Structure 1
């Protein structure tokens, strides 16, 4: 028995249940179930049959056959074994009408595929519709009991008379129309989850079709992202979704093919194969020819591939349109299969001799028209094992055209081409170039480990035995050796793969070895291969945090002319500008970023995509410069270009930049979604440092969005992520550590915040932190030190922050410093000066488009506002801040506004810990701690440091800090000193 209504069809199921309720009260009805092919009409009918059976109502099935002779073919099964009375005319409509009414009386008659009805069956159905419509006269007492007539059909193929009668009945006669439209993403995700469990066969009544049973598949992942991709590919229609899953759906290959399991696809496609089998001979040939052409096609081309004359070809295509297998597509009388997977089923059903001949014809046609290499390669891939090197070169050419848009397809074509090309002889150099292109395509499609292994193999052979070009400039026949230029490219590709796997030491060593092959000083004109290697070498140093070492070399390269074209020149410029900004050299970097942005904006997407890192680097440089609209524009452009499974690693980087912008701009829901997607992509390509930063960003977003009750869990999430990163590993690590520190302070753990930043940033001055963010992080440390009662340390840190902010001159970095300075002045009792700094910081955050930080600053300023301008002004400030925070979904800021308002309203003192007189309340709070939190808090109050506690309790240092931070929040304290005061005699023992 099925476990509930069909997924995503709750509203439709409720309407069908109402129809059965009416039948039990003696009221008949007509139900129309309508929808696209694959929308699940039969499944809804089956569910209705099951529900009727559970109520003890008889169920009769009828289905329009695809072929047959004689009248009333639809209703023959419904007539039962007895059929018409002896002596009745088998063509008499009245006799059939009375028979069906008698058989269906008091139950449910389900007619599936009504759009295929023969004329006599159609006339009988129309008569039944009229008799059951609410506008028809009530039957006499001698008439059979009322029943429910269910008609499932496809509107595109249904006879006009049926459509007219049903439309009229829906408007005037109470016919119930149930539309099986596309499912939403959530329903697709739920359906995929249900398919992972063994399917349960329902008791749908006599004659129920087997299509109701659900498949038990091993599905490609269970995340929301994969459900969204499958939803788009299937158009939300469960029938097509089943086919895609059966084929082993691969987003990188879609829509060229669903996946690699054609046998399973054909097994699942039995109903679709039956549709194709019901066609006439010419139409079947046309369907197969159309499948060979793929995409959109012209009837004349179909006729030529199928070996039909022009007139017969048009007639065959017209039959395909009537059968709704193909539909008009765009202008120019072009056609396309109603869904790409329909064409793929038709293609998989072709026999091999036909396929080879058809694809050879199609390749010839494409060449005659001068079609792009991508179109020709789609046919050449089927001929590569028969037509050899000629087909292989078409595939390589097609791969070069599509690698930016569809790298997984490019990688497959290059693999096929390499299998067909000899490993020795004149093709050695050509083969080596294809192998490097194959590695690039694998990297772009997310198969980085595979690319790394292939690149190492190629480099081992080419590096140990440099090519010895003969008189013609070709390598000899001694093996797959690399020319000097290809050797440079091999080093760049190998270093790229290592970098993307976060193996920075290996990447730097490999790139440095390749750089040793370049003359120094660099030549006036750089080859594309040399430019590529220099760019990769620079990227490695940027991500290692050793960008200062590479800046002179990059500037030397920028002065040379490159043969690699405008995209490579722009990429080098962006990398140099990024290094300047990253290093805190704003005076030099800011104008360079502006110049490079203009260069990149002038590049078409296809050209910019050849250097996919450039948009991510440019967006991050603009983010450091606080140019958030420009950063969003460039990061989103890169994200839009990296579709279809392309450049997963770069997509993850772009998502991280957009996550940070969304978080600052108060779009917390969007920030969380992007962080989750970045984390999934990074895990998929095997980039642990990117996973760490994405997790830390998600944790930071969750602290803001869910408030202090969730802060402990979010901080623990970030701490677990940071625990796997070796400190001082460069940009990724320091960025993740700074986010963890932010989350710790917001969660109430000032001590943990200070320790995290000191450990991860290299000490009090944070020498290992990127200079562009150093002022705000020093200000964060000052705030944490102040919360811990160390005003002297806070003052020292704030002085360093002001000096760094002065060198940078960035408004939002200054805003963070001003806010920390205001808090320090408030602690000294300088409330007027504090309020001035608070207001300067708040205005900077407002002008920069950071509403959450704006609201947080206003909340922090409320006590000073109350002392300087009165409680009413402070309450107005809190109301503004709370309204802003609610609009952003920043629950933490809303909670803080409510807490400060309560303190102001009660005229209580601002204290770091509970009042000494609150002994009984502290005991109650102590009992609220978990056993482990009590152990950690007891030892911390006794003066032990976190590492000592960790050793004593056999815990990690991060776990101790997490428990301690949770205890701080529950007790309402912010430092170990306050913790000891708060616990006092309540501490056990």
Structure 2
């Protein structure tokens, strides 16, 4: 996997051997890079060609000369005693006409190394290697002088190879007499393919007699249940397949990496047999130093490793030097400290340590860290192993460490807090402390994506199933601890909100708010501020912004004990609500002010409130400040490392998906949408899954063209079908995307029906105000496609009124485009062209190239009517070039279709038609040679279409066929596209007995 170029290079060497030409091949690379696997690939190729293959491998131990080649030479080798020249000739005779593979040459004994150098020098008189011509063919028989030719393959690790070998190989490579094949890191695609292969059951793989087992055992024996993404595993393994196998075997958890590979140490050790053999070759002091280094973890000081291992200063340095020579550890931090060559090497060394040693070693390491004043994060790595022996002291270190790492690695923080809670008594002294840790544990679980678990624990706390949320006051009397109770309500509401359970979230947050005095006090506690902020987020995502705005403004006037970052977060939430509600005059300056405050926050502080960057970026997106929006969303994405805040990451990815789609970065938009969908599924957020799927479908409509449009619309329809209407922002956003996709692919009726159902009826009251003008314009376009010019005019008037209140250029561009379409149908070609040009300029200025191209295509017929066919063809040429540049296949296809119509209409005897643009699908062109259109439909589509033609509505059809109404709409839309119609009347005509016709591309004025 991922070694196609290297395999092709090796195949060229075998081509040369079949022509009587030998060669030396050096296979080099990092430990775990797959050098032996490449050699096996060469052996397989040679065996398929009928060429003999001999394996030689440097043993880890043994006595006597020429140990590498003894098995290769056979019984005759013993008679050659210690004569290197005789051995060289013997090996050449044995390998003649085939391939000699020497693996792990860096471990060779001196006599074997001398023999390898002699073999290399024996090729020095040959001509430089060059790849054979593809047109050449092997001669019928090789001349006698070429029958002794063979291929010598030398696999080694450069860091551990002796200088003489490196010098000889480098000289041969420079003079083109040695073929160097480097096993570099695999790319992400190769890692994904490799993981897929490993998880698929397979039979045993046989590489041929004599092939070594250690580095080539088929990896299908590895577990396939890991849910880690290929990208995360690629990063953790550095693209090296040997380390990749170890991580998969351990049950890789990206949230715990690099502190821990996974939870399956037994399988890790079984898969790490070659690495354990490396450790076993070490001297006693060096092995003790390796174990001590594994206890220290990360970068370590040789003196600390010596102290933990119980070695003296001099002996410890010598032991560490041996580890460096064995390439188990390498200099780091400018040589002042050392680190294992890969973190998983240290974890293997740690996993093989005996328990008594581990307890003593971690206790010493904790003492060293405390003496040095190390942060709790470092001390907690050792306290984790002592929590069941050192009790409450270790638990407090773990809680402190969790607080320091929860932003970077929340899964690790959750693990430490769970251990700390297990070490504390359930009752008695420290109850308030335990409750605080329980809430911190819930927060860490939420941040790591384990929202359902956090919800269950938070409910237990509120119900009294966990420790009490009351504590002792300093005066000795018992009284409530309102701070912990308020925080418990906030955490519980947060978990419900993230699971898209908005009614429950609002009720829980409201119950917590009832504990606060009204009006709010002049100074808010940190816990009260947290609850108010959470209450506001619940209303934001349930689409009830206006209800919460007065409370948020009252809270903003108070002073908060939570610190400046909390005040910034509250300000961003207020500004977002204003913008989302369409109050641009108030919200726009506040967003700019908040952006300056957020930009001044350090990354560590900003990372503690990741919602802030997501809210700010989305507010800027609605204000059409795309550069600022992208900057803040990307910063939030970068801050959510180590598996942190999967739910927020999904939100940020959706915002970036929208920006990328508008900016014409369709491949990037599809990738981001798919990642957001995966994350949302992982945390159990169905509404987020719906929107991510709809965004991905919309991107596919643009990128893949009409051939795949039906599939993409069906994908969006299935996603929206799972969403209850009127569920707030997520649902209305997904429904609007489905409507866009339907109109783009010719289903004007479906577009109107989707928007009316999902937007709350006439006027779209449930639609976000900042997007309402463009959606009303979309409905006007759909009405025009259905022949309802009067209805389109009413919708357009509403759209113009809303756009005037907002004053957003891109909303105006959508309205201008719809207005141009309406004027064109009235024959007002000059006025239509002016509006088209204003719309095109708006999209171009806003940085929306695909929308710009689509507008030019729509304007081409009017341009032909006003300025002539040549000007229209020029407009189409510019539109097509722009669409091709951004991979918008749908726009490219539409430009070509409109070009064909214009060219046909401009032929002698025919006049150019100002409505020759994207055709409405109501009037199929008749053709005597056309076949029955019904044959184009699937059985289910014919069933649905026949019922629709009788006048039944979608819900009636759904009840009759036991389908959901969205599924019916999907089948009906597909039938419309295939039959080239956009109304039920036209559908009834098309489904008549053998009605001639041809399915035409729909969406006459399809608007994105």
TM-score, normalization by structure 1: 0.95
Q: 2:786, 2:946 → 1: CA distance?
A: 18
Query: Structure 1 pair 869/31, CA: closer, same or farther in 2 (3 Å)?
Result: same
Deviations along 1:607-635, whole A, 9 cap, x unmatched?
A: 11111111101111111111111110100
Give the match's secondary structure for 1:211.
Answer: coil
Query: Structure 1 pair 115/956, CA: closer, same or farther in 2 (3 Å)?
Result: same
Q: 2:819, 2:988 → 1: CA distance?
A: 27
Q: What is residue 65 of structure 2 aligned with on the other side? A: 71
Q: 2:214, 2:70 → 1: CA distance?
A: 19
Q: Shift of the alpha carbon at 1:292?
A: 1.1
Q: 1:630, 1:219 → 2: CA distance?
A: 44
Q: What is residue 965 of structure 1 aligned with on the other side? A: 973
Q: 1:753, 1:250 → 2: CA distance?
A: 43
Q: Shift of the alpha carbon at 1:667?
A: 0.6
User: Contact 2:721 / 2:967 at 8 angstroms: preserved in 1?
Assistant: no
Q: Shift of the alpha carbon at 1:249?
A: 0.4
1:16 partnered with 2:10: yes
Give the match's secondary structure for 1:60.
Answer: strand
Q: 2:37, 2:253 → 1: CA distance?
A: 26
Trace 1:563-578 onto structure 2 (pairs within 5 A): 563-578=561-576
1:946 partnered with 2:954: yes
Query: Structure 1 pair 818/474, CA: closer, same or farther in 2 (3 Å)?
Result: farther
Q: Shift of the alpha carbon at 1:978?
A: 3.9
Deviations along 1:845-887, whole A, 9 cap, x unmatched?
A: 1111111111111111111111112111111111111111111
Q: 1:708, 1:543 → 2: CA distance?
A: 34
Query: Structure 1 pair 751/473, CA: closer, same or farther in 2 (3 Å)?
Result: farther
1:319 partnered with 2:322: yes
Q: What is residue 231 of structure 1 aligned with on the other side? A: 234
Q: Which runs of 5+ in 2 are unaligned?
A: 129-141, 906-911, 997-1008
Shifted more, 534-543 versus 65-74: the winner is 65-74
Q: Shift of the alpha carbon at 1:899?
A: 1.4
Among 980, 984, 991, which residue is 1:976 paired with?
Answer: 984
Shifted more, 44-53 versus 821-830: the winner is 44-53
Among 956, 960, 968, which residue is 2:964 paired with?
Answer: 956
Give the match's secondary structure for 1:328.
Answer: strand
Give the match's secondary structure for 1:30.
Answer: strand
Query: Structure 1 pair 600/913, CA: closer, same or farther in 2 (3 Å)?
Result: closer
User: Contact 1:728 / 1:734 at 8 angstroms: preserved in 2?
Assistant: yes
Q: What is residue 265 of structure 2 aligned with on the other side? A: 262
Q: What is residue 479 of structure 1 aligned with on the other side? A: none
Q: 1:777, 1:144 → 2: CA distance?
A: 78
Among 200, 216, 219, which residue is 1:215 paired with?
Answer: 219
Q: What is residue 716 of structure 1 aligned with on the other side? A: 714
Trace 1:291-310 onto structure 2 (pairs within 5 A): 291-310=294-313
Q: 2:299, 2:500 → 1: CA distance?
A: 42
Deviations along 1:664-720, whole A, 9 cap, x unmatched?
A: 111111100000000000000000000000000011111111112211111111111
Among 158, 161, 165, which residue is 1:162 paired with?
Answer: 165
Deviations along 1:461-513, whole A, 9 cap, x unmatched?
A: 1899762635546869xxxxx72210100000000000000011110111010
Q: What is residue 782 of structure 1 aligned with on the other side? A: 780
Query: Structure 1 pair 917/382, CA: closer, same or farther in 2 (3 Å)?
Result: closer
Q: What is residue 398 of structure 2 aligned with on the other side? A: 395
Shifted more, 145-154 versus 812-821: the winner is 145-154
Q: Shift of the alpha carbon at 1:898?
A: 1.2
Give the match's secondary structure for 1:399.
Answer: helix
Trace 1:536-555 onto structure 2 (pairs within 5 A): 536-555=534-553
Q: 2:953, 2:336 → 1: CA distance?
A: 78
Deviations along 1:120-167, whole A, 9 cap, x unmatched?
A: 111111111122345399x99799833322211111111111111112
Q: 1:574, 1:142 → 2: CA distance?
A: 82
1:382 partnered with 2:390: no
Q: 2:206, 2:466 → 1: CA distance?
A: 64
TM-score, normalization by structure 2: 0.93
1:84 partnered with 2:78: yes
Q: Which runs of 5+ in 1 are unaligned?
A: 1-6, 477-481
Q: 1:857, 1:976 → 2: CA distance?
A: 28
Q: What is residue 188 of structure 2 aligned with on the other side? A: 185
Query: Structure 1 pair 219/889, CA: closer, same or farther in 2 (3 Å)?
Result: farther
Give the match's secondary structure for 2:967.
Answer: helix
Trace 1:715-864 onto structure 2 (pairs within 5 A): 715-864=713-862
Q: 1:918, 1:926 → 2: CA distance?
A: 15
Query: Structure 1 pair 742/221, CA: closer, same or farther in 2 (3 Å)?
Result: farther
Q: What is residue 339 of structure 1 aligned with on the other side? A: 342
Q: 2:885, 2:361 → 1: CA distance?
A: 60
Q: Shift of the alpha carbon at 1:571?
A: 0.8
Q: 1:35, 1:437 → 2: CA distance?
A: 45
Give the match's secondary structure for 1:558.
Answer: helix
Q: Shift of the alpha carbon at 1:21?
A: 3.4
1:200 partnered with 2:223: no
Q: 1:459, 1:278 → 2: CA distance?
A: 57
Q: What is residue 4 of structure 1 aligned with on the other side? A: none
Q: 1:167, 1:111 → 2: CA distance?
A: 18
Give the match's secondary structure for 2:180.
Answer: strand
Q: What is residue 510 of structure 2 aligned with on the other side? A: 512
User: Contact 2:106 / 2:161 at 8 angstroms: preserved in 1?
Assistant: yes
Q: Shift of the alpha carbon at 1:111?
A: 1.4
Q: Shift of the alpha carbon at 1:177?
A: 1.8
User: Contact 2:786 / 2:922 at 8 angstroms: preserved in 1?
Assistant: no
Q: What is residue 116 of structure 1 aligned with on the other side? A: 107
Give the match's secondary structure for 2:77.
Answer: coil
Query: Structure 1 pair 282/76, CA: closer, same or farther in 2 (3 Å)?
Result: same
Among 33, 37, 42, which residue is 2:36 paired with?
Answer: 42
1:905 partnered with 2:909: no
User: Contact 2:106 / 2:158 at 8 angstroms: preserved in 1?
Assistant: yes
1:355 partnered with 2:381: no
User: Contact 1:913 / 1:981 at 8 angstroms: preserved in 2?
Assistant: no
CA RMSD of aligned residues (A): 2.3
Q: 1:629, 1:687 → 2: CA distance?
A: 28
User: Contact 1:463 / 1:487 at 8 angstroms: preserved in 2?
Assistant: no
Trace 1:469-484 onto structure 2 (pairs within 5 A): 469-472=472-475, 483-484=481-482
